[in-house]
Structure 1
Amino acid sequence: MSQLRRQGPLLAFLLLCTLAQVVPLTNVLGYEFSLVVAAALMVLGSLDVLRAQRRATGRLPVAVAAAVHGTRLLGWCGLALLISLVNALRVPLCDVGSGLAYLAVFGAGAVPVTVAVALVGERASPGRGGIWVGIFVALSIIASLSWLAFQPAIDVYHLWMGHFAASIYDEALAAFAPHLAFRLYTTAFAAMLVAGLALSERPRPMTAVVMLTAFLVAGGVWLARAPLGIERSRSWIEQSLGGRAELDSMIVHYDAKAFRGDRLRDMLDDHRSRYAAMEAFWGVAPRRPIRSYVYADADQKGAMMGGRTTMVAKIWLGEMHILWRGPGDGMLAHEMAHLFLREDGRGPLRLALAGRLMPDMGLTEGAAVAAAWSNRELDEHGWSAAMLELGLAPDLDHVMGAARFWQQPSSSVYTLVGSFVRWLIDERGGAERFRRAYGRGDFESVYGMDRASLVREWERWLSDRALDPALLDAARFRFDRSAIFGRTCGRAVATRLESAQRWIRAGEVERAARALERVRRDDPDNVPVLLRAVDLLLEAGRASDAQTWLDELSGRTGLGAAARLRVELLRADIAWQRGDEAEALRTLSVLESEPLTTGLRRQVTVRTLALADAETRPHTAAAVRGLLADRDRSRAGALVALVVSAQAEGSPLAAYLALVNSALETETAAIEELARQAEAGSLPPELIRRARAAHALHLVRRGQTERGCAMWEELRQVLPDGSADAAEAADWTFLCRLGVVGGSPHPAPAGSRH
């Protein structure tokens, strides 16, 4: 029994590592499992070192004791590795190299500081060292949580556990270099502590040199922690961004190199108009100015605050961190909506609560989605009705809490909660009534029935919607997927896709192709991921490889209609790129006979018109093909070719594409000419309406408000109800009536538009 008790910390460590093998993400050798190992070492490893020190019959020199304890704990890490490798017989292990690296840096990397702090604690208070270790651990956790709470970052480095990323939506793992720099710091810190103990035990010049060297290394890394990516403070981020604008109710920090001239003006106007629209929607305004941090791109945002693609509102601080992709990007509206509900939220984080303590993430995010609203093919009501009809919607009442909410695929659960909240606002008494229920989720006292009953009524209301078969197929393609917790090799696949894109743009095509082949091998049944990989192959100029992938996909049984249509469109593009225009036209003609969504039909129409007119307008066809093949690398050149083709060949199609792709980047005189050419030709009505929308957007953004608003009003009258274009025109018409047209569309207060 005494032997068993002596080995208690090790047995508990092994049990914890074993239990981790049945939990999603930690059941794979990788980032999450390494955090479990590090956390276990922090507690159980420290306990083991303390007990071993107390049991020692003779006092070993501190350096020798540190080496003995460190070797034993590294052996624990080896056992953890063995457990994870055995579990690989049950769960696919997609990236052994990355997994070993994370275990080495985060798991084994926690050993030096574990040993050093335990030795210091035991020396400070023999027999009661655990108290000092506990205090040190508690302070380190408090420091990390405080950094997350009061600074922009959504990730943090912890002395034991290494890098903790708070967002689950950034599926690709962060760059590894900052992890190595941080572990250099913690190892030097541990060496400094052990050397200090050794000096107190027996002063020796060499020990002093070791301590001084460790101090200089730790201090150097700490002083350079911001540029090394370890810890980025608010002041460092603001200074690095370089741009600051004070609006009436906002302070906007932005990248001064990325935002200048018209782009800066458009971004700031977008903030102003969204603020006014949110105030109209919610009926309240924040009591203090809100702060917006606008980053140049995902890489900069990830390096500065830890979330590459995750947009963040720190509601309790009254600030948001976003990427701005131009007019129509709803993420600015979404994050700003969170900040407008700060005073209605509860608790230190100012969130919606389920009762008095637990965050109600469904209500919190649903409110933001309801306020931002979308007009992409269908709104949230339409997509939610489709999910319910297809059986893809979870029980909404069951998934509103934080734990269950984050276990759902974000695309589906955000859509559903947004539809539910918007229904409450539009059909059940408006925004003010909803805000009374928001803070504590007190539906019964506000609405006279509990949430479950309201959810059932909302579902019945959605069931009356008639849905186009093409949109049902699109919904199945969009929402029939798992969250990262339920996907095979989710982290590894996302990281490889992101790395492949970066390597392609750096010219390392072969390296990218190998990564994409690993994606296909690791996740062969994930059709959206495979289609994304095909896009990257085309961007890399590997059309033959892309064709092979598409041939394999099209031969699969059970491939959904929406996925099959996307496969065929890509096949048409590849045929066109290799010069087989007849095959491309044949594929497109088959697609034209299919039930298509508005967006997909527009893509098919543009390709068909360009190919059908290729003999009489060859420069237009070449320019359109260039725009399709561009894949974001030479867009400016493709747009110039379209403008030239519109002028030289009198091509309405070239004018249309140049107009809709550069409405905010071109001078008004040129826009007027492109609009005239596009509307004077024989384009299908849906393309002409799209051209008029782009023209109207340019006018309201460039100061010709009266004329632009009149065009939006005209479009609202003629567009078919329920279409995405009609929703966009209605949103802009509302902004015009509100007197704020410097930004992107927003929802009106219930009953004030349409």
Structure 2
Amino acid sequence: MFSFWLSNKLRGSMLILRIVAPAMMAFIPLTSDLDYEFAETLNIINVIFFAVWMSTERAHSNTSYHSGVLRTVNRLLLPIIFFDFVIISIAMIAGHHLHWYRTFGLYFLLPFVGSWIGLTLGYVCRFFIQRRPWLGVAIILLFTLILNLIWLLFTAPIFVYSIWWGYFAGPIYDEWIPLTDTLVFHRLFSLGFAFAIFISGDLITRKLNNTITYKKFISLMAAVWLVITGLFYWRDNWGWDTSYATLEQKLNVVYDDERLTIYSDTTSKFVTRYVSARIKQVTDWLNINPAKVKIFIYPDAQTKKILMGAGGTNFAKVWRNEVHVNSDDAEFTIKHEAVHVLASSFGHPLYSTTKPGMLEGLAVAAAWDESQLTPHEWSAALYKLNKLPDITALMEPMGFWSSSSGLAYTVSGSFVRFLVDQYPIQNIHRVYASEDFKDVYELPLDTLQERWKFFLNTIELDSLDLRIATTLLQPSIFRRRCPHYVADLQKEYYTSIEMKEWDNALKLTEQIISTGTSPERWVLSRARIHFKQKKYDAALSKVEEVLNKSTLSYTMRGWALLLKADIVFCQGQNQKSMDLTHEIMTLYDQTTSVYEAALWSDHLMRHPDNGTLYASWLDAVDQNKAGEWYSVHYDKKDDAIFSYKLISYLYQTSQYDSIFSYIKTHPMAITDSSVYLKYNQLLGDAAQRIELWSEAEQYYRAAQQYAKRTTEKVQLNDRLELIHYLKNKIE
């Protein structure tokens, strides 16, 4: 009775669900763009569906091993593929999708190949497992899933190329997932593997039925299996995997002691020292004696993408005490990522903690650098706006991930830092591991949350802080359109900008805007394209469109006003442009990046040459020749603002010795307090990189005198503390 129900009612239900699955996913934000998430989800569905369907199909007396497969392909597989194509095509036309090649490419590589994998598995189980072949399918699929998870845990990459389950790209969120030769080769390999299993099954069936088989054919299949085994054995060479032996050959050991090993390639000595100093700093803050940590620093995102699967995403492997970061990101992310690994000394060695609010909150609390505001200020502002999420929810996986990542991370960080500052750090150790808040603090979590909120009420905020805080109010990843599809559009957009293919870039911005991804930002990008095309009226129209949006963030408004100033300058309205830059400087005197840009524009516009100097600067920026422009105007000895900008450029291009050579011959009398702060901080950073410790400390202390915002004070205090750790590492 059970077998009859499984073979009829369940099969019917499965067929209906399989047919409507693509249409259902077209209405889910995360899969509606028919990109990677759509293809991989459909691949998993196809493997399970076809495997179970084939294993439970009733055998017909006149149906041979081969004809049974052909019958299923003709009556089930091909119609389903055709139906998928219809649904995908309708969805793409309705959604004005640009990347047909990508959608259908992913479809053929993942769900299409997955259909044959499932079909083959189902037929093999049906012919060789007499009772309940569907159970054999379930056991095999479960076994391969566990095997892939083990593979993910104990091999170097965070991606998995799986014959059975397709391609798991890893937790890389909004990174671009390209259609690579590696993926194509692996899926062809998977298809060949399925074909080899099918033919081998046929040979075994013939042998059991005493049917004639040709020895040459058996030898050929033996050779095929030998090739398959060889391809899999040397999978490192094809990019399907990276062993730790291979990884450690690519990245040499550049630092090693009893607590830390750093693997790197072209990383500067300063970055190596910096990373080791930060590890020691975090260790002291947590008050622990951790196991040895391994840090892998990659020369660039492309190398990291090939070896690990994550180009721009830096991450920690808690279960292996490893941190993987790009060289350019190491200074900004190492404290955060190191906490995840170091916390395993008091957390669970495999998964660290079951409380995501503690996992990310402790990392944010240690790094304590969340851009324009401190985590306490962000949280206090959200509290005043009645937008503060519930801490109890953030301690649970569903509650944490149902909020936007920026909101969940920052608020959790504020709460954890409050606990660290108010109670012994050992309490954090116990709660992080597994213990309940009430058992550790002798207070329930709700009461701790109320105490934290009372503390947030004591933080002084102004209207600017409240406006800035609204930028955290974004939808969660599950309510956003496919981030990989958006990343693909953005990559093509930047390529078009580099190639000066303006029309294609405009088309791409329109597509990105349709996904709901930062629409104000991308409308502003359209304005910039028109500006580069010297279509100033069109550019101004787009800028005004952005400025009229009520949802425009405070900082984005500043950049829009700056672009407007450039546009009206190019229209010959110099005075109006200068009025705008002066207005921006007044409104954004505490937003350093916008203020500096406005000050620079205003300074060049007011030059006695009636705007010629500023026009040459805009032209140099447009042609990516800022360095040449600086070299032409190198000797403006009496121009403090110019000298500051030149020093900034030298710092960005790692010419640290040149900075100090320049200031010896170009003394500056900076009167602007914001510029003076950034100038001294910049000199302190440069001195730090060439081991001028006393000079670095001197510059940081000079900058402290002009620090207004809490974030500025926090950053300078952190730099001064870092000097202590760096000096100890050198000595």
TMscore range, shorter length: 0.7 to 0.9
**What's 2:581 paired with?**
588
**What's 2:209 paired with?**
none
**What's 1:736 paired with?**
723
Matched residues in 2 for 1:296 and 1:575: separation?
A: 42
Q: Deviations over 1:119-162 (max 9, x none)?
A: 32233333443344333222311221012111232221222331
CA positional deviation for 1:694: 1.3
Q: Deviations over 1:365-418 (max 9, x none)?
A: 110111111163321111222222233332232132223322321112111111
**What's 1:180 paired with?**
184
Does 2:412 match 1:417? yes
**What's 1:706 paired with?**
694
Please point out which of 635, 660, 663 is paired with 1:672: 660
Matches within 5 A, 1:590-605: 590-599=583-592, 600-605=594-599
Give the 3 Å change call, closer, same or farther, for CA 721–285 of structure 1 in structure 2. farther
CA positional deviation for 1:100: 3.5
Percentage of pairs with the same residue: 20
**What's 1:346 paired with?**
348
Give the 3 Å change call, closer, same or farther, for CA 300–502 of structure 1 in structure 2. farther
Q: Which segment is superposed worse, 664-673 or 428-437?
A: 664-673
Give the 3 Å change call, closer, same or farther, for CA 536–188 of structure 1 in structure 2. farther
Q: Which segment is superposed worse, 73-82 or 486-495?
A: 73-82
Are 1:617 and 1:651, in contact at CA under 8 Å, matched by a contact in 2? no
Helix, strand or coil for the counterpart of 1:153? coil
Give the 3 Å change call, closer, same or farther, for CA 522–338 of structure 1 in structure 2. closer
- With normalisation by structure 1, the TM-score equals 0.85
Helix, strand or coil for the counterpart of 1:680? coil
**What's 2:320 paired with?**
317
**What's 1:25 paired with?**
30
**Letter of the 1:295 counterpart:** Y
**What's 1:39 paired with?**
44
Matches within 5 A, 1:487-526: 487-488=480-481, 490-505=483-498, 510-523=503-516, 526=519
Give the 3 Å change call, closer, same or farther, for CA 546–454 of structure 1 in structure 2. farther
Matched residues in 2 for 1:507 and 1:251: separation?
A: 44
Helix, strand or coil for the counterpart of 1:56? coil
Please point out which of 330, 333, 339 is paired with 1:331: 333
Q: Deviations over 1:674-733 (max 9, x none)?
A: 4457762344122122111111222222122123223323433x1345343322221122
Matched residues in 1 for 2:528 and 2:227: separation?
A: 45
Q: Which segment is superposed worse, 208-217 or 153-162?
A: 208-217
Please point out which of 392, 396, 399 is paired with 2:391: 396
**Letter of the 1:730 counterpart:** N
CA positional deviation for 1:345: 1.0
Matched residues in 1 for 2:499 and 2:240: separation?
A: 25
**What's 2:425 paired with?**
431
Please point out which of 342, 357, 360 is paired with 1:362: 357
Q: Which segment is superposed worse, 116-125 or 142-151?
A: 116-125
Matched residues in 2 for 1:627 and 1:368: separation?
A: 41
Helix, strand or coil for the counterpart of 2:587? coil
Matched residues in 2 for 1:533 and 1:685: separation?
A: 34
**Letter of the 2:585 counterpart:** E
Please point out which of 117, 120, 125 is paired with 1:116: 120
Does 2:633 match 1:645? yes
Give the 3 Å change call, closer, same or farther, for CA 230–612 of structure 1 in structure 2. same
Are 1:471 and 1:597, in contact at CA under 8 Å, matched by a contact in 2? no
Are 1:121 and 1:132, in contact at CA under 8 Å, matched by a contact in 2? yes
Are 1:170 and 1:309, in contact at CA under 8 Å, matched by a contact in 2? no
Are 1:377 and 1:597, in contact at CA under 8 Å, matched by a contact in 2? no
Q: Which segment is superposed worse, 267-276 or 647-656?
A: 647-656
**What's 1:469 paired with?**
463
Please point out which of 684, 691, 696 is paired with 1:696: 684
Matched residues in 2 for 1:42 and 1:326: separation?
A: 39
**Letter of the 1:686 counterpart:** S
**Letter of the 1:418 counterpart:** G
Helix, strand or coil for the counterpart of 1:55? coil
CA positional deviation for 1:302: 2.3
**Letter of the 1:661 counterpart:** Y
**What's 1:751 paired with?**
none
**Letter of the 1:484 counterpart:** I
Matched residues in 2 for 1:440 and 1:509: separation?
A: 55
Matched residues in 2 for 1:129 and 1:365: separation?
A: 45
Please point out which of 297, 304, 307 is paired with 1:304: 307
Please point out which of 449, 460, 470 is paired with 2:454: 460
Q: How many residues align?
A: 717
Please point out which of 123, 130, 133 is paired with 1:129: 133
Matched residues in 1 for 2:626 and 2:710: separation?
A: 29
Give the 3 Å change call, closer, same or farther, for CA 487–278 of structure 1 in structure 2. same
Give the 3 Å change call, closer, same or farther, for CA 525–692 of structure 1 in structure 2. closer
Give the 3 Å change call, closer, same or farther, for CA 109–518 of structure 1 in structure 2. same
Please point out which of 156, 167, 172 is paired with 2:160: 156
**What's 1:719 paired with?**
706
Give the 3 Å change call, closer, same or farther, for CA 76–444 of structure 1 in structure 2. same
**What's 1:283 paired with?**
287
CA positional deviation for 1:496: 0.4
Q: Which segment is superposed worse, 308-317 or 190-199?
A: 190-199
Matches within 5 A, 1:513-552: 513-523=506-516, 526-531=519-524, 547=540, 549-552=542-545
Helix, strand or coil for the counterpart of 1:321? strand
Q: Which segment is superposed worse, 108-117 or 540-549?
A: 540-549
Are 2:294 and 2:323, in contact at CA under 8 Å, matched by a contact in 1? yes
Matched residues in 1 for 2:342 and 2:696: separation?
A: 29
Please point out which of 298, 303, 310 is paired with 1:295: 298
Does 2:651 match 1:663? yes
Q: Which segment is superposed worse, 722-731 or 547-556?
A: 547-556
CA positional deviation for 1:536: 7.6
**What's 1:268 paired with?**
272
**What's 2:256 paired with?**
246
**What's 2:382 paired with?**
387
Matched residues in 2 for 1:106 and 1:666: separation?
A: 44
Give the 3 Å change call, closer, same or farther, for CA 181–669 of structure 1 in structure 2. closer
Helix, strand or coil for the counterpart of 1:320? strand
Matched residues in 1 for 2:371 and 2:716: separation?
A: 13
Please point out which of 430, 439, 444 is paired with 1:445: 439
Does 2:274 match 1:230? no
For structure 1, the residue ranges without an aligned partner over 5 or more in a row are 353-358, 744-754
**What's 1:654 paired with?**
642
Matched residues in 2 for 1:538 and 1:344: separation?
A: 55
**Letter of the 1:584 counterpart:** S
Matched residues in 1 for 2:529 and 2:251: separation?
A: 30
CA positional deviation for 1:434: 1.5
For structure 2, the residue ranges without an aligned partner over 5 or more in a row are 207-211
Are 1:170 and 1:307, in contact at CA under 8 Å, matched by a contact in 2? no
Give the 3 Å change call, closer, same or farther, for CA 578–250 of structure 1 in structure 2. farther
What is the root-mean-square deviation of aligned Cα atoms in Å? 3.6
Give the 3 Å change call, closer, same or farther, for CA 616–84 of structure 1 in structure 2. closer
Are 1:576 and 1:584, in contact at CA under 8 Å, matched by a contact in 2? yes
Give the 3 Å change call, closer, same or farther, for CA 466–39 of structure 1 in structure 2. same
Please point out which of 139, 147, 151 is paired with 2:143: 139
Matched residues in 2 for 1:398 and 1:674: separation?
A: 54
Matched residues in 2 for 1:659 and 1:223: separation?
A: 53
Give the 3 Å change call, closer, same or farther, for CA 509–28 of structure 1 in structure 2. closer
Q: Deviations over 1:466-485 (max 9, x none)?
A: 22322322222x21321332
Matched residues in 2 for 1:658 and 1:218: separation?
A: 59
Does 2:76 match 1:68? no
